[in-house]
Every structure is written in C-alpha cells, then in structure tokens.
Amino acid sequence: MALKNPSTLRNKERIRGLFSGSNKISKYPITLLFRANGGLDTEILYCSDKTSQNAVQRNRTKRILRALVRENKDKIPDQMDIAIISKREIEDLDFTQRVELLASLLSKISQ
C-alpha cells in the first residue's frame, strides 16, 4: 500500500531507536536507516550530514530530500520509520538521477 502523505518523524524515542538499532543501506550520496515501527504510519526523518557547512546548505538538502520523497511516495513501504541522510553532493546530481537513486534504495527496503 502506498504512503498517502509522508509525515515527518518527530518522536524523540523513535528517532533514538532508529539511529541505535536499525538496518542501513546506502548508495552515495544517500544513506537510509529503517526499521519497522510496530503498526504505526510510516514516518520519515530528513537529515543532512555534517559536510553541509551552514544552515542554507542543510535546508536546501532537506528540501531536495522532501521533493524526492514526494516523487517516490508510492515506493515507500508501510509501517516503517525511515531516516534519509544525504551528503551535500546530492546537489550536484540532476533531478532524475536523484529520483532513480532514492527509488533504488527504497526497492531494497521492500524486499
């Protein structure tokens, strides 16, 4: 079943659990951390890594990630907490490359 409206993960306990005990897959420059959330709606955390030097770059990276999730929302599995962590170099890729990159990572989660 496809995700209707991707919501942002804001619960501190679930975020801690996601970073401490989750599965990880990556394909440069994106890394996904994911774990089942026990029957709750899928929520996504958008992160920029430490290579972003200032707030403007971090916010741009997060905007790019949100746009990619909107394009791939039919591929996002249900009942998962997902953290999408991106390096600043995602800005160097064009939009179709970004969409295909995230789609390939999301397909690995679904398997």
> What pLDDT is recorded for position 5?
67
CATH number of the domain residue 42 falls in: 3.30.230.10
Domain range for 79: 7-110
Let me know if residue 57 belongs to a domain.
Answer: yes
Predicted confidence band of residue 2 (pLDDT cuts 50, 70, 90): low
pTM of the model: 0.91
Let me know if residue 2 belongs to a domain.
Answer: no
Do 93 and 86 contact (CB within 8 A), yes or no? no
Let me know if residue 60 belongs to a domain.
Answer: yes
pLDDT digit string, tens, across residues 41-92: 999 999 999 888 899 999 999 999 999 999 999 999 999 999 999 999 999 9
**5 is written with which tokens?**
């409206």
User: Buried b vs exposed e over 70-81: b needs ≥16 C-beta within 10 Å?
Assistant: ebbbebbbeebb
Q: How far is CA 66 from CA 9, 20, 38, in A?
A: 13, 23, 24
Let me know if residue 31 belongs to a domain.
Answer: yes
Let me know if residue 1 belongs to a domain.
Answer: no
Count of structural domains, the chain: 1
